[in-house]
Amino acid sequence: MKVAAVVVTYNRRALLVRCIERLRAQKLPVGVSLDVLVVDNASTDDTMYALVPFIEDGAVLYYNTGSNLGGAGGFAFGMRQAASSAAGYDCLWIMDDDCLPDADALDALVQAARNLEGQWGFLSSVVRWKDGSPCEMNIQRHPLFSSIDDFGAALQPCTLASFVSLFVPAAVVREVGLPHAEFFIWSDDWEFTRRVSRKYPCYVVGESRVLHASATNNPGNIYTDPPERLDRYAYIYRNDVVLYREEGLRGVAFVWVRAAYHTLRVLLSDMGEKRRRIGLIWRGTRDGFSFRPEIEYPE
């Protein structure tokens, strides 16, 4: 089995180097090889120069996108390279630059894949934060609207998962298509994994563990985030419509009910700029119904 670790980075070279070192230290099962593909969203912090030693000894394949495509665009770019038939990879292992896998994280994913004998669409790792607690922004869902709250099982069904340690066959990517680059940030991973879980059984692998070295263990929300972080919320409300409208009436109902609930939370909060926050919720939701990005394929 030939595996490509697709790592998207932007201006976090120190974290990226730690991620690469963890990938190089992986305990590889018999018959498995691992290449590391770094997708650089045109970082301005000399990321490329920090990678020169890895590039020169063949430990990293480096791609620069030429501009900041956001997380969604970066993953679409990297997965396009790795999932093409010409690349020759059997599976993609997808992650952000602040994902630090345990030494046996890949081994556990591969063993689960082998035990499932091809009857799976994606496998997701258990994601912990720095203090050992579950990383809130990466908690998987099963079924669609329920967060998983117990990660003790060796293998459990999964409907939605993040791009912090997602293992997916290249053939599945070629079948269902790439993440929507137009999303820019947020919900690209959930929308992509939902496309997969509609067609195949998907799982969380309890023995595969990674640490997400994010600054805080807080997924963020529009009713408590400071003003300088608010504009990005237009993406999540817009993008989530693309995800949930594919679920039919219950999905459409969900996005409108959530918009009303979040409006109430804004009104009850003690944060300022309430008019701006509420405007982002409703404009984003409204714009999502006319936002129809086409699915692109690696080849």
pLDDT mean over 276-292: 98
Kindly give the interhelix angle for 233-245 and 249-268, rounded to the nearest 10 degrees.
Answer: 150
Handedness of CA 209, 169, 288, 65 (dihedral sign): positive
The pLDDT tens digits for 249-281 are 999 999 999 999 999 999 999 999 999 999 999
Q: How far is CA 100 from the centre of its chain?
A: 14
Can you give the residue ranges of every domain in the chain? 2-212, 227-288
255, 240 contact by CB (below 8 A): yes
> Would you call 196 helix, strand, or coil by DSSP?
helix
Residue 189: both structure tokens together: 């991973």
| The pLDDT of residue 61 | 97
165, 171 contact by CB (below 8 A): no
Fold classified for 2-212: Spore Coat Polysaccharide Biosynthesis Protein SpsA; Chain A (3.90.550)
- Cα dihedral: 173, 74, 217, 145 (round 10): -40
pLDDT band at 220 (very low <50, low <70, confident <90, very high): confident
Please state the pTM of the whole predicted model.
0.97
DSSP state of 28: P
**Per-residue CA distances from 135 to 28, 127, 140 (Å):** 26, 6, 10
Q: What are phi and psi of 87, to 5 degrees?
A: -70, -30
pLDDT of 299 over the 90 cut: no
The pLDDT tens digits for 165-183 are 999 999 999 999 999 999 9
As beta bridge partners, residue 155 has 205
Contacts of 95 (CB under 8 A, 6+ apart): 5, 6, 7, 8, 19, 101, 163, 164, 165, 166, 210
The pLDDT tens digits for 224-255 are 999 999 999 999 999 999 999 999 999 999 99
**Average pLDDT score, the chain:** 97
Closest of 50, 56, 44, 63 to residue 19, by C-alpha: 50
CB environment 50-87: b (16+ within 10 A), e (fewer): ebeebeeeebbbebebeebbbbbbbbbbbbbbbbbeeb
199: how many CB neighbours lie within 10 A of its CB? 11
Percentage above 90 pLDDT, the chain: 98
> Would you call 4 helix, strand, or coil by DSSP?
strand
The pLDDT tens digits for 62-81 are 999 999 999 999 999 999 99
